[in-house]
Every structure is written in structure tokens, then in C-alpha cells.
């Protein structure tokens, strides 16, 4: 049905919309009624103002300011602040600690993302169809998400220590002779932190897959079953294509999450970020260099922050490319 | 082994339960291990091959010690203050803004939408240096407000509320309007009750975020009397005083339990809200 301007004019509220200084254009009378009938122009402004102010002042402004700071020698307590051009970026390129943190963050994402894309889908598949007690399992699988990170990191510190249950189990079945140094060897420490991130994230991403599975038409499964496809082939040929967009979304979200890791490293590896700082991630390094009250260099930290931001964007673009290539 | 000879469908159900129990052991096993270890008596082994899963001589001594030797009650109070501030702002403002965003035709709507999307592109860690300097310039460092303010309103919650309000059928609003209900009345009587499920999700997410947050409060708060539970726990674990491991375990269980109880109490809303698309 097309509504012309002349027919709209006959509707009583249309005139009021105009004279009320409302937002003019009339396409669909129903929606315009909702928008214009009793609404003065300042009402939306009033309702969104707090959100706009907070997001502009503490989201957009600090981002722009970070770029400005990265060209200065500002300190976290307000000293300095002179323009130093590209000096911070030049220093960054030759800073081994920066490259080490970058490498750790990238390795973190490269290992955590595939695990967080695949494992939660399998979990969602497991709890999707109704069975007696399934609600209990769903809630239990979500438990690590709800528990606070510092607390669960302390749990894993106990589980992984030299005499902890994991080492005890490995020794009792004869897999290893001496305790595995999960928390003191830099490589194993990074792996342990990744395992903690993945373990805590499984339930969170499972929820997204549950929502996505609800949108996969069930007759596709029935057709596949009639064609003699088993559970595995149904998973590969019906489920995975059906939740592809969600997989892409989760790849981006878990990638960004991996680049943000701080707490896992801080609790498992200590305040230095592993022995000699070898397991520091980028956020860890930013906090260490920029925000130390005495030796902090906010300008340099801002330059590293810009690098972290670019890495995040790069990762999102990469996931997107990867996702759309599979589509064709 | 009789189940193996049952019909295929029944066997599939058994296999599914076995897998479910396996994932259950992985996801809650570590938490239960910590809980049971924290309840072990002082004579019992926590680690090594002689350690048992269940406490043989259960005792609450570690919980008493953690409250006596560490200002645990104060940490909990501080965490609750942070949660209350965050939940308050995350419920009120995203609801108002999300409602407006779901209404059509007002000037600036698409600009507002873009602002929200853009603001979600910066990971917090890449702006925290500037954010800290801002908070310090406002003389808010080492205060609760300084911790709360930058994260007081999350764009994602605005989008959740927008999706919720957009799902209310227009016919219902038309009917209310014909009855002469003005916008405030429609908002409170019609839209808010319809958004109950999503509001529960927002409350729980905000509670978890504020209770769990570590890096930002760690940067902003310096006085120990302002420490939240997460900060206090990390300090307890890193403390040079060598505490009995049971005490640290008890502390972490105290941090986990309240949030778990709250989540279990409302999880029905939570899964329903998420599955009906509130998170998209």
C-alpha cells in the first residue's frame, strides 16, 4: 500500500506532526505516529544525552587523545607533553620488549581463536536438543563465565602447580617423570594462560551458538538423515554452514578478547609477567611502561596503544577476509 | 554393557549424556576442587598423590582466617558499591537511549547510531593510558567514581535495549496511543514491562563486569581501603606473608559464590533472553 502525501494529510495527527516541529518526512503513517504525536524536539535529546556524553568523553575522546599523546613525551602524572614527532614510534620499532609482547599477543590470538570458534559450537550442539536435565548442564557450562577472573586464575594456579592435581595425575599414569613446570617455563606459562582464557570463554560463546542453532531449519537435518548422513556429516554439512556468520562473529570477538588479556598473565605469571617479563602481553606492556607513577612514559605507552589498536583492526579484517573467502 | 544392544536412538542418548558429563567435569570440576580443598582440615593434604577430592575432615577454619587476617568484609563492600553504581547507570541510561533509538524519525538518530558503533571499535586497553590521565585531570583517581564513570554506559547495552523495544509490535503501541497514552506513559506501562527479560540480562552482565573487573580498578585505585574483591584477592595471593593455601582458596570461593547464586536464581530469564535474540 502506498500512501501519498494527500492521503496522509487527512489523518488528524499528521498536521500535528508538522506543526509540532517534528521530523517532517511522512512515509509510513504508523511509524510517524509513534515518532511525532506527542514528542517535542528536545525529548530524544534529553533521553540520549547521558549516553552521548559518556561515550563521547570516555570512548571517542580518549581514542583521539591517545593518537595525539603518542607524538609527545607526556608522563602519567601530567608532566612533559612536548611534541616529539615520531620518536616514540622509532623507539618502538627497535624495542625488543615491545616485539616480545606483540609476539605473545599474536600467538595468544592464533591459538585461542580457533579453539573458541570450534569447541563452543560442539558444546552448544550437545546441549541444544532437549534431554531431561539439560537446563542443569547449560547452567553448569556457563559457570566459569560468571566466576570472576582473578578467582578462577587462582584456582588454575593451584591445579597447575608442581604438586597440583594435574601434575599428580600426569605422573601417576606415567606420562611424565618430573613435574611439568606449567607456571615457571615461559612457553608453558603462555600455554596455561591461553588454556585458562579458553576454559573461561567456552560457555560465553556457547550462548551465541545456541541462538544461531535455533535459526538452522530443522528440515535440513531431516533431509540429511534421509540421505544417510551420520552425526558427523550432519555437523559438517548442515550445522557449520548454518552458523557460519556466528562463527565469524565469534572469531572477531575472541580475537579482540585475546589481544586484551591482562589478568590471566598477572595472576598466573606474577606482577612481572612471567620470569623476566617474558610472557607479557601488549596490555601488560602498556600498563608497565605508561602508567608507572615514577618511571612511566605515557607518550610511549600511547604509541604502543596505537599499535594494539591497529593489531585489533588487522585481526578483525583478517577474520572477515577468511570468513568471506570460505563463503565463495 | 546392555545399553550397547539397545536401539540406535537410545544409544545416541547415552553417548550424549557421557559427553555432557565429561564437559561438566571440565567446566565445574576445577571450581569444585577449589571449594572442597578450601574446606579441608589443617591436617589434610591439599596436593600430591595422597590428596583426596572430598575433604575427609571438613572445617571452616580457612574462611574464619581469611576474614580475620584480611579486610575481606571491606573488599566485599567495595565490590558491592561498584556493582550498584554500574548496574544503576547501565539499566537507566541504555534503556532510555535504546528506546529512542528504536523509535523512527528524529533528527540525529543515525548519527547517534554511528557513535555507538564507532565507540565499540576501540579495545579498552588501547585507550586506558589517555583515560587514566583524563580521570587524574578530573581529580577522580583513587575514587570509586573514577573507576565507574568511564564504563558507566556501555554501547552494547543500548543496542540490546534497542533490539528489545523494536520487537514490541507496533499495533500494541497504536492501540495505546488511541487510548490517549502519552510517550512517558507508553514507555513505563508498555515498553518497560516488555523488556523485563533483557533488563535481567543487562543487570547480570553489569554485575559480572563490575565484580570481575581487574585492570582498570587496579590502575585507578591505590588505597587499600578502596580495593575491590578482585584487587584484594590478587594482593592476598601475591602477599609476602605466606598464607595457608586454604586461606587463598577460601578467598577465591568467596568471590565466586555470590555471583554464582545470583546467576542461578535468574538463569531462566538469561537463557531465554539470549535465545530470543536479545544479544544480536
Residue A55 banded pLDDT, cuts 50, 70, 90? very high
Q: Do B130 and A158 touch (CB under 8 A)?
A: no
CA distance B194 to chain A (A): 17
- Contact list in A for residue B260 (CB cut-off 8 A) is 143, 146-147
Chain A contact for B31, CB < 8 A? yes
pLDDT over threshold 50, residue A3: no
Report the pLDDT value the prediction gives residue B5, as an integer from 0 to 100. 57
- The residue of A48, A127, A183 whose CB has the most chain B CBs within 10 angstroms, and thus the best one to mutate to test that interface, is A48
How wide is the angle at C-alpha A50 spanned by C-alphas A44 and A53, nearest 5°? 110
pLDDT digit string, tens, across residues A141-160:
999 998 999 999 999 999 99
How wide is the angle at C-alpha A17 spanned by C-alphas A15 and A19, nearest 5°? 70
Report the pLDDT value the prediction gives residue B240, as an integer from 0 to 100. 59
Chain B contact for A201, CB < 8 A? no
Per-residue pLDDT, averaged over A167-175, amounts to 85
Report the pLDDT value the prediction gives residue A5, as an integer from 0 to 100. 38
The CA dihedral of B34, B40, B46, B49, to the nearest 10 degrees, is -110
The CA dihedral of B189, B192, B193, B197, to the nearest 10 degrees, is 180
Could you give the CA distance from residue B254 to residue A151 in angstroms, rounded to a whole number?
Answer: 9
Count the neighbouring beta carbons within 10 Å of the beta carbon of residue B114.
Answer: 10
**Superfamily covering domain B62-278:** MetI-like (1.10.3720.10)
Q: Which CATH number fits domain A97-327: 1.10.8.100, 1.10.3720.10, 3.40.50.720, 3.20.20.70?
A: 1.10.3720.10
Report the pLDDT value the prediction gives residue A39, as an integer from 0 to 100. 66
H or E element, residue B148: helix B144-148
Q: Do B126 and A37 touch (CB under 8 A)?
A: no
Sketch the domain layout of chain A as residue ranges.
5-87, 97-327
Could you give the CA distance from residue A186 to residue A198 in angstroms, rounded to a whole number?
Answer: 18
pLDDT digit string, tens, across residues A233-242:
888 888 888 8
Indicate the residue of A22, A155, A301 with minimum beta-carbon distance to B252: A155
Sketch the domain layout of chain B as residue ranges.
2-59, 62-278
CA distance B259 to chain A (A): 7
Could you give the CA distance from residue B53 to residue A165 in angstroms, rounded to a whole number?
Answer: 9
Percent of chain B with pLDDT over 90: 38
Lowest mean pLDDT among A113-117, A240-244, B217-221: A240-244
Kindly report the average pLDDT of chain B as a whole number.
85
Report the pLDDT value the prediction gives residue B276, as an integer from 0 to 100. 44
Cell digits for B51?
590428596
Chain B contact for A105, CB < 8 A? no
DSSP A72: B
- Least CA distance to A36: which residue of chain B? B105
Residue B108 banded pLDDT, cuts 50, 70, 90? confident
CA distance B56 to chain A (A): 17
Report the pLDDT value the prediction gives residue B272, as an integer from 0 to 100. 64
Report the pLDDT value the prediction gives residue A153, as an integer from 0 to 100. 94
Q: Is the dihedral angle over the CA atoms B173, B177, B182, B188 positive or is it negative?
A: negative
Residue B262 banded pLDDT, cuts 50, 70, 90? confident
| Phi, psi torsion values for A113, nearest 5 degrees | -65, -50
- Contact list in B for residue A52 (CB cut-off 8 A) is 97, 112, 115
Report the pLDDT value the prediction gives residue A110, as an integer from 0 to 100. 93
Indicate the residue of A33, A66, A157 with minimum beta-carbon distance to B174: A33
Report the pLDDT value the prediction gives residue B152, as an integer from 0 to 100. 92
pLDDT over threshold 60, residue B193: yes
What DSSP string runs through B164-233?
Answer: HHHTS-HHHHHHHHHTT--HHHHIIIIIHHHTHHHHHHHHHHHHHHHHH--HHHHHH--SGGG--HHHHH
pLDDT digit string, tens, across residues A195-233:
999 999 999 999 889 888 888 888 888 888 888 877 788
Per-residue pLDDT, averaged over A122-130, amounts to 87
Per-residue pLDDT, averaged over A257-265, amounts to 94
CA distance B224 to chain A (A): 17
- The residue of A8, A58, A207 whose CB has the most chain B CBs within 10 angstroms, and thus the best one to mutate to test that interface, is A58
Radius of gyration of chain B (CA): 24
DSSP A189: H
* Cα→Cα distances A253→A76, A264, A292, Å: 30, 18, 30
Percent of chain A with pLDDT over 70: 86
Q: Counting beta carbons within 10 angstroms of the beta carbon of residue A197, is it exposed (0 to 12), middle (13 to 18) or buried (19 or more)?
A: buried
Cell digits for A31?
511509524
- Contact list in B for residue A31 (CB cut-off 8 A) is 104-105, 170
Kindly report the average pLDDT of chain A as a whole number.
83
Amino acid at each position: 500500500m502506498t500512501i501519498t502525501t494527500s492521503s496522509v494529510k487527512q489523518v488528524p495527527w499528521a498536521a500535528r506532526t508538522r506543526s509540532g516541529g517534528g521530523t517532517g518526512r511522512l512515509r509510513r503513517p504508523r511509524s510517524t505516529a509513534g515518532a511525532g504525536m506527542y514528542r517535542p524536539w528536545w525529548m530524544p535529546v534529553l533521553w540520549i544525552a547521558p549516553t552521548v556524553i559518556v561515550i563521547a568523553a570516555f570512548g571517542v575522546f580518549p581514542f583521539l587523545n591517545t593518537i595525539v599523546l603518542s607524538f609527545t613525551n607526556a608522563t602519567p602524572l601530567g608532566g612533559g607533553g612536548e611534541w616529539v614527532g615520531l620518536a616514540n614510534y622509532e623507539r618502538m620499532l627497535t624495542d625488543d620488549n615491545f616485539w616480545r609482547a606483540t609476539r605473545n599477543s599474536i600467538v595468544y590470538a592464533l591459538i585461542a581463536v580457533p579453539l573458541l570458534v570450534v569447541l563452543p559450537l560442539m558444546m552448544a550442539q550437545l546441549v541444544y536438543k532437549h534431554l531431561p536435565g539439560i537446563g542443569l548442564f547449560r547452567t553448569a557450562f556457563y559457570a566459569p563465565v560468571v566466576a570472576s577472573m582473578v578467582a578462577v586464575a587462582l584456582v588454575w594456579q593451584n591445579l597447575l602447580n608442581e604438586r597440583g592435581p594435574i601434575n599428580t595425575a600426569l605422573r601417576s599414569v606415567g606420562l611424565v617423570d618430573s613435574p611439568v613446570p606449567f607456571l615457571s617455563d615461559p612457553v608453558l606459562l603462555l600455554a596455561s594462560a591461553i588454556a585458562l582464557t579458553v576454559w573461561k570463554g567456552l560457555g560465553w560463546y556457547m550462548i551465541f551458538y545456541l541462538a544461531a542453532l535455533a535459526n538452522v531449519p530443522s528440515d535440513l537435518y531431516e533431509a540429511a538423515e534421509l540421505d544417510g548422513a551420520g552425526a558427523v556429516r550432519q555437523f559438517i554439512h548442515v550445522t557449520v554452514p548454518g552458523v557460519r556468520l556466528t562463527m565469524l562473529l565469534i572469531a572477531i570477538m575472541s580475537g579482540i578478547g585475546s589481544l586484551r588479556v591482562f589478568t590471566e598473565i598477572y595472576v598466573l605469571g606474577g606482577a612481572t609477567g612471567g620470569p623476566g617479563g617474558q610472557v607479557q602481553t601488549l596490555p601488560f606492556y602498556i600498563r608497565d611502561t605508561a602508567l608507572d607513577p615514577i618511571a612511566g612514559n605515557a607518550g610511549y605507552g600511547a604509541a604502543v596503544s596505537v599499535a594494539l589498536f591497529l593489531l585489533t583492526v588487522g585481526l578483525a579484517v583478517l577474520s572477515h577476509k577468511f570468513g568471506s573467502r570460505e563463503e565463495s | 554393557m546392555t545399553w550397547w544392544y539397545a536401539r540406535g536412538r537410545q544409544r545416541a542418548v547415552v553417548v550424549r549424556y557421557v559427553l555432557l558429563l565429561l564437559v561438566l567435569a571440565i567446566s565445574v570440576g576445577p571450581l569444585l576442587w577449589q571449594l572442597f580443598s578450601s574446606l579441608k582440615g589443617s591436617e589434610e593434604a591439599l596436593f600430591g598423590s595422597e590428596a583426596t577430592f572430598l575433604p575427609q575432615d571438613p572445617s571452616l577454619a580457612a574462611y574464619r582466617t581469611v576474614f580475620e587476617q584480611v579486610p575481606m568484609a571491606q573488599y566485599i563492600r567495595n565490590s558491592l558499591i561498584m556493582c550498584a553504581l554500574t548496574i544503576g547507570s547501565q539499566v537507566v541510561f541504555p534503556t532510555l537511549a535504546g528506546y529512542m533509538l528504536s523509535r523512527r524519525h528524529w533528527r540525529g538518530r543515525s548519527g547517534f547510531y554511528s557513535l555507538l558503533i564507532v565507540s565499540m571499535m576501540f579495545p579498552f586497553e588501547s585507550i586506558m593510558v589517555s583515560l587514566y590521565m583524563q580521570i587524574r585531570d578530573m581529580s577522580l583517581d583513587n575514587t570509586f567514581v573514577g573507576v565507574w564513570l568511564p564504563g558507566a554506559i556501555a554501547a552494547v547495552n543500548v543496542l540490546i535495549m534497542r533490539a528489545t523495544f523494536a520487537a514490541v509490535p507496533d499495533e500494541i503501541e497504536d492501540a495505546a496511543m488511541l487510548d490517549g497514552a502519552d510517550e512517558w506513559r507508553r514507555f513505563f506501562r508498555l515498553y518497560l514491562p516488555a523488556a523485563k527479560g533483557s533488563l535481567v540480562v543487562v543487570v547480570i552482565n553489569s554485575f559480572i563486569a563490575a565484580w570481575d573487573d581487574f585492570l582498570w580498578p587496579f590502575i585507578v585505585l591505590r588505597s587499600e581501603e578502596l580495593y575491590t574483591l578482585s584487587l584484594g584477592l590478587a594482593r592476598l595471593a601475591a602477599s609476602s606473608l605466606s598464607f595457608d593455601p586454604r586461606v587463598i582458596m577460601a578467598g577465591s570461593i568467596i568471590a565466586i559464590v555470590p555471583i554464582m547464586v545470583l546467576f542461578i536464581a535468574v538463569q531462566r530469564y538469561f537463557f531465554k533472553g539470549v535465545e530470543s535474540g536479545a544479544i544480536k
